[in-house]
Amino acid sequence: MPPPMPATCWKTCAWPGTARAFMRACCPRSMTRRRRALGIDGVEEGVLAMMVLGRAMPPAALPAAGPYLPGAAAASTSIGVTGVIQRATSLREEAAPPGELIPLPAPVVAGKDLYATIAARRSERRFGSGPVALETLSSILDGMAQPPQLSAAVHANIVVNRVAGLPPGVYRFLPRQHALVRLRSGDFATAARSAALSQDVIGDAAVVLVLSAARVQVLAEGARAYRQVLIEAGLVSERWLLGAAARGMAACPVGAFYDDEAAALLGADPKEHWVLHFAALGLRP
């Protein structure tokens, strides 16, 4: 007999057929079947994540910013004694970097329909030469800062090249305070371009989002932490891209960068602090 399905899995399945297929796919014994279906061997390549697709929610507006509660999603899952031990021994949050808090202006929720935004969004690699409004940056950062779903280890840093009222430099975004802390002062457009394999999409951007994680914090999150922090970074980046698209901005995700140069851009030691992802932002040309 396959193990019983958690009630939440059943609830999210819109159709009985979907539920049956989902149960078959979730059964640990069907791991071989899943691999076979995907044509992978499970050694060189494995199943990373699964997601159920179904009709459930009515069309929604872009998510409004809720309270930022690091680890809230992870804490609400029930994985018994393992979960209790894991939570008790986890480093939930790395201390914020030292420095003066730079408060951001109040965010403005984008009124655009979420599904229309998803359908219309495209990567854009050319940018206008003007600055991004600080209120726009603040709103995009706010929409991006949802409670973590898989890992609380992802940090959002930004390389500011052209933002009205914010001097160029490298900043860490602190979601709970909705504020920035300056990590480095100065013009880092050339350093960012070079770190990203000299791609213009990064060198010409008004702002570059650099997602990173402290090694010690990732390792404290458990055996699957490396996998989960990468998926979490993908989710964060998607919200950055959608927030930009909803506000008429140009944006593009970028995964091609030199690890050491990217960490140096943040003023970090690449052995202790891992850069996970870049994403560019700017005005439409």
| b/e map 3-27, b = 16+ CB within 10 Å | eeeeeeeeebbeeeeebeebbeebe
Question: In the bound complex, what is the minimum distance in angstroms from residue 278's beta carbon to ligand FMN?
Answer: 8
E-only strand ranges, 133-218: 155-160, 169-174, 179-185, 207-214
Using CB under 6 A as the binding rule, the residues of this chain from 41 to 100 that contact ligand FMN are none
The dihedral sign for the CA sequence 114, 118, 122, 124: positive
Q: Which amino acid is at 230?
A: L
- Reference 191, options 178, 202, 180, 177; nearest CA is 202
> How many alpha carbons lie under 13 Å from residue 106 in its C-beta half-sphere?
1
The residue from 105, 253, 258, 283 that contacts ligand FMN (CB under 6 A) is 253
Residue whose structure tokens are 């030199």: 258
Where does this chain touch ligand FMN (CB under 6 A) — which range of 44-52, 162-170, 223-231, 246-254? 246-254
What is the pattern of x (binds ligand FMN, CB under 6 A) and - over residues 197-216? --x-x---------------
Are the C-beta atoms of residues 192 and 263 closer than 8 Å to each other?
A: no
Question: In the bound complex, what is the minimum distance in angstroms from residue 235's beta carbon to ligand FMN?
Answer: 12
Using the minimum distance from each CB to ligand FMN, give the nearer residue, 8 or 123. 123
123 binds ligand FMN (CB under 6 A): yes
How many residues of this chain bind ligand FMN (CB under 6 A)? Answer: 10
The residue from 137, 249, 254, 276 that contacts ligand FMN (CB under 6 A) is 254
Are the C-beta atoms of residues 155 and 172 closer than 8 Å to each other?
A: yes
Using the minimum distance from each CB to ligand FMN, give the nearer residue, 90 or 212. 212
CA distances from 8 to 4, 56, 71, 262 (A): 12, 13, 19, 40
The residue number with the shortest CB distance to ligand FMN is 255
What is the pattern of x (binds ligand FMN, CB under 6 A) and - over residues 180-199? -------------------x
Q: Cβ-count burial of 173 within 10 angstroms (0-12 exposed, 13-18 middle, 19+ buried)?
A: buried
Tell me how many degrees the CA angle 176-180-184 measures, rounded to the nearest 5.
145
Using the minimum distance from each CB to ligand FMN, give the nearer residue, 236 or 252. 252
Question: In the bound complex, what is the minimum distance in angstroms from residue 256's beta carbon to ligand FMN?
Answer: 3
Using the minimum distance from each CB to ligand FMN, give the nearer residue, 14 or 231. 231
Where does this chain touch ligand FMN (CB under 6 A) — which range of 16-24, 136-144, 250-258, 268-276? 250-258
Question: In the bound complex, what is the minimum distance in angstroms from residue 201's beta carbon to ligand FMN?
Answer: 5
Note the residues at the interface with ligand FMN (CB under 6 A).
Answer: 122-123, 125, 199, 201, 252-256
